[in-house]
Chain A
Amino acid sequence: KAGVTQTPRYLIKTRGQQVTLSCSPISGHRSVSWYQQTPGQGLQFLFEYFSETQRNKGNFPGRFSGRQFSNSRSEMNVSTLELGDSALYLCASSWVGGQPQHFGDGTRLSIL
């Protein structure tokens, strides 16, 4: 059974640009959550989607947004990129929401 797949693995952008990250959950999983991992702030929850609806949101500015499609795949968008957005962005999926959550290997975003 394939795990959580995130694409691309690496991205380099410049300040002011926008970026879209993609996540394909484990087959059958309907809940997708996104996390940001940085050396300074650690792992922080961004948002969760279930059945194409955002069910929970962390303390991030509105520049961070996401969506989920009918096949449970999810995308995350960051607009007007700032240097501080450089991080590893992780996607996790679970059966119907709740636990356990299984993580992908992330997208490493670097802002120049």
Chain B
Amino acid sequence: QQQVKQSPQSLIVQKGGISIINCAYENTAFDYFPWYQQFPGKGPALLIAIRPDVSEKKEGRFTISFNKSAKQFSLHIMDSQPGDSATYFCAASPEGGSRLTFGEGTQLTVNP
């Protein structure tokens, strides 16, 4: 019940295209859903996060869509750029909690 399932495992997109990564969770106690971006040799960097009281949040080219009833959330990267090539992780934590449960990660490659 603590798992977060992420798909796809890898994704190849052309420059300018839309990258979409999906996550699903089971634990209804989860209250905070961040996305992290990780480059080789670096730690995960927080991209954008959402709480269940909103269905969508946008920051620049990055948008989170959240479906509370389906217990799913997704990351959309608009106008994908080669510099976006990285591994993306979704995560979830309970209200007020610091314990992040991570998805398996998606290796995104944006071809020029």
Q: Which residues of A contact B (CB under 8 A)?
A: 4, 31, 33, 35, 42-45, 48, 50, 55-56, 58, 90, 92, 94, 97-106
Contact = CB atoms under 8 A, between A and B. Distances in A.
B100 interface: yes
B3 to A, nearest CB: 11
Interface in B17-70: 32, 34, 36, 41-46, 49
A105 B93 contact: no
The dominant DSSP class at the A interface is strand
Interface residues of B, number: 23
Contact of B102 (A42, A55, A97): A42
A50 B100 CA distance: 15
B9 to A, nearest CB: 11
Contacts of A97: 96, 98
B84 interface: no
Contacts of B96: 97-98
Interface of B: 32, 34, 36, 41-46, 49, 89, 91, 93, 96-105
B102 A94 contact: no
A56 B44 contact: no
A98 to B, nearest CB: 5
Contact of A99 (B34, B41, B102, B105): B34
Contacts of A103: 36, 43-46
Given A48-B98, A48-B99, A99-B32, A43 B89 contact: yes
Given A43-B89, A48-B99, A56-B99, A99 B49 contact: yes
21 contacts: A4-B43, A33-B99, A33-B100, A42-B104, A43-B89, A43-B102, A45-B100, A45-B101, A48-B98, A50-B98, A58-B99, A90-B43, A92-B43, A98-B32, A98-B97, A99-B98, A100-B46, A103-B36, A104-B43, A105-B41, A105-B43
A97 B36 CA distance: 18
Give the interface centre of A33, A55, A98, A100 by most chain B CB atoms within 10 Å: A98
